[in-house]
Chains A and B, each alone.
Chain A
Amino acid sequence: MADKILTGIPVATGIAIGKAFFVNRNHRARLPRQTVTLDLVSNEVHLLQDAFHSVEAELSATREHVPAELKDYRLLIDTHILMLKDPKLAGAAEEYIKSLGLNAAWALEKAVSDQEAAFRAINDPYIRERMQDVRVVADKVLAKIIGEETDLGAMEGRAIIMAHDLTPADTVELQVNKIMGFATVCGGKTSHTGIMARSLAIPALVGVNKLEDNVHDGDLVVLDGLSGKIVVNPTETELAEYNERAAYFEEYTRKIKRHCHLPAETIDGSRVQVLANIELVEEVASVLDNGGEGVGLYRTEYAYLNRTDLPGEEELAEKYIDLASIMSPKKVVFRTLDLGADKFISSYGELGETNPAMGLRAIRFCLKNPQLFKTQLRAILRASAHGKVSLMFPMISGVKEVRQAKAWLAQAKAELRREGVEYDPDMPVGIMIELPAAVMIAEYLAYEVDFFSIGTNDLIQYSIGVDRTNHHVSYLYQPLHPATLRTIKLVVDAAHQAGIEVSLCGEVASDPFCVPILLGMGIDSLSLTPQAIPGIKRIIRQTNMHDCRKLLKEVLECRTVGRINDLVMDNIFKHFPDEVTFFSSLLENDEAPS
């Protein structure tokens, strides 16, 4: 048996086998807390000062290498350098060594705790968040003091990067060509680690429990981004198995990629559009490489995160125009700002809501902040003159909300028209169906808009009442729950009844087990993570609508998830054995853990 098998949330697929290399370890857990005798006090003071100075020198050196276009990182580093020089951190720690005889590490931790107490008392959530920066800086100093700092130069050959957390700023320091995979303790499905890994096409896991206790630098690890496992120091047999599995997966990926540019058409001639979900313009290459027929969901939030100010119209328009024109004549669907819940803009900060998932987020947030909303609408409209652009509003709960959002859009159009700025007056406008309320009035909503896009991630959570990141109940998050399938069908039927198209852009769209059922419902397009496009196109090209409709009819008659899983599994086994090998994790969530 391997030393340990850890589990995490897979955010980028693939299997990497290599040596572990730790960056950003959480040193606080193993902090030495000792007092020193009077004669050793000056040693500890020197140790502390040296650590502060060398971190400052390193940050200054890093700052010089930050490319000009990443000026936000430069400002972040400047702030960190200022914190290093701050008398309230270095000075206070030194004072604790001198007055209480604490060792340098403990003294620093105490100075940081003092700051934490001061920041906790602040009402302004944005400023309270800045404590994170103090922590980042202090952790670097702490690593120096206890002699466990990361020396990126010590990374021999290629390695699998392990970390407590990875921030966008870390990206600047990492040599991406040497990285085979990522695993972090923190982070969720949409964290920066996942985006980075997917754009590098390497496997990654986030939310790995006890990673720091169980993996050491140089350990041989298998990072399985398919099943979400990390195997630490595998046995010869395990290693051979994973090597075979990795090779098999690579071969499978190569094989399906060869055909990814062919149209997504079933054997009996039904055409489905396969589009991509992206959040960075840079991901366009991966959309095109993987045979994406357009962008079905451009998550516009990223431009608002990790910064202290708001992006202006010019900045947004430049980015949006780039995206629309690179993708042209393929379409790009812009989703207006979807913030709140787990993502916040620093300038607004957390809203201090007890239940943010049901609070002021997405379209609700935008309608409350019309200036910010209009800035974005104007930028999207400007991009519509440069390509095939559509727009959709997230988290719609009623007809009035759609009308309000459309009224702001009309106002933005009128302004642009007056200013003589070009835009597409017929730009299609759609909404995301993510709330059970929207499902139940889908027939009314359909008359207000040009298309629907079903966001299954939230729709499933709200329908079943389950937070899929809560490990106590995440087993209840079931895309193949009879209620989920009926819900999706209701929406598809309502849209088609009204003569509008319906797309699906949640994770269900990239799940080979669900796709035949969705085809059976008559879904018009699927939007998924770019890397999953070749696999889904392959499924579509090897199936026929007759079988899909038959399967749908059978599953809609099932009363339990278990029965649906069996039917779906039979279907996949019969037609797509490779997919069973690589994508079976979904079907493991059937029962509550005992």
Chain B
Amino acid sequence: MTVDTQTPGSFPEDIESRQVVVANDHGLHARPAGKLAQQAQAFEAEILLVYGEQSVDAKSILDVLTLAAGPGEVIEIRASGDDAAEAADALETLFRNKFDE
């Protein structure tokens, strides 16, 4: 599930990065993964979720699911592109609000 084009650490300078914690009880399961991907798709920016060794496309529900990030895990949101800051903010809020669960 690693995105080949950009490995962690090789990002350009203009990336927005946020550290978030998976706060909902069951981790990033279907409903939060769906909300996350849906929200991410609304932005032009390229958004990656970095979790341990893996980094995946936040716009893909399948990628987000395969992270299988459980409750309490720390994930980094990395967005790059025109609306990167807005995108990172929006996704950070989703995590903070436990995906409205």
Chain A residues with CB under 8 Å of chain B are: 75, 78-79, 82-83, 85-89, 115, 118-119, 121-124, 126-127, 130, 133-134, 308-309, 346-347
A-B contact pairs, 11 of them (CB 8 A): A75-B34, A79-B30, A82-B37, A86-B37, A86-B63, A87-B57, A88-B60, A121-B66, A123-B68, A124-B27, A346-B29
Q: Given A87-B59, A130-B30: A82 and B38 within 8 A (CB)?
A: yes
A124 touches B68 (CB 8 A): yes
User: A78's closest neighbor in chain B, by CB?
Assistant: B34
Q: 17 more A-B contacts (CB under 8 A) besides A82-B37, A87-B60?
A: A75-B34, A78-B34, A83-B62, A86-B37, A86-B62, A86-B63, A87-B59, A88-B63, A118-B62, A124-B68, A127-B66, A130-B29, A308-B26, A308-B30, A309-B31, A347-B26, A347-B29
Q: Give CA–CA (A79, B65) in the complex, Å.
A: 11
Residues of A close to B68: CB separation below 8 A: 122-124, 127
Residues of B close to A130: CB separation below 8 A: 29-30, 65
Interface hub of B26, B37, B61, B101 (most chain A Cβ within 10 A): B61
Interface hub of B29, B31, B57 (most chain A Cβ within 10 A): B29
A89 touches B31 (CB 8 A): no
Number of interface residues of B (CB under 8 A): 21
B1 touches A83 (CB 8 A): no
Q: Does B81 interact with chain A (Cβ within 8 Å)?
A: no
User: A121's closest neighbor in chain B, by CB?
Assistant: B66
Q: Does B41 interact with chain A (Cβ within 8 Å)?
A: yes
Q: How many A-B residue pairs have CB under 8 A?
A: 63
B59 touches A308 (CB 8 A): no
Q: Give CA–CA (A85, B37) in the complex, Å.
A: 10
User: B27's closest neighbor in chain A, by CB?
Assistant: A124
Residues of A close to B57: CB separation below 8 A: 87-88
State which of B26, B61, B70 has its C-beta within 8 Å of the C-beta of A79: B61
Q: Given A124-B70, A134-B62: A85 and B31 within 8 A (CB)?
A: no
Residues of A close to B41: CB separation below 8 A: 85
Q: Give CA–CA (A123, B67) in the complex, Å.
A: 10
Q: Given A86-B61, A87-B57: A118 and B29 within 8 A (CB)?
A: no
A118 touches B66 (CB 8 A): yes
Q: Given A79-B34, A122-B66, A124-B68: A86 and B60 within 8 A (CB)?
A: yes
B29 touches A127 (CB 8 A): yes
Q: Give CA–CA (A304, B37) in the complex, Å.
A: 26
Q: Give CA–CA (A347, B31) in the complex, Å.
A: 12
Residues of B close to A89: CB separation below 8 A: 62
A308 touches B29 (CB 8 A): yes
Which 9 A-B pairs rank lowest in CB-CB distance, beginning with the nearest?
A: A88-B62, A82-B61, A124-B68, A122-B68, A88-B60, A118-B66, A86-B60, A127-B68, A79-B34
User: A126's closest neighbor in chain B, by CB?
Assistant: B29
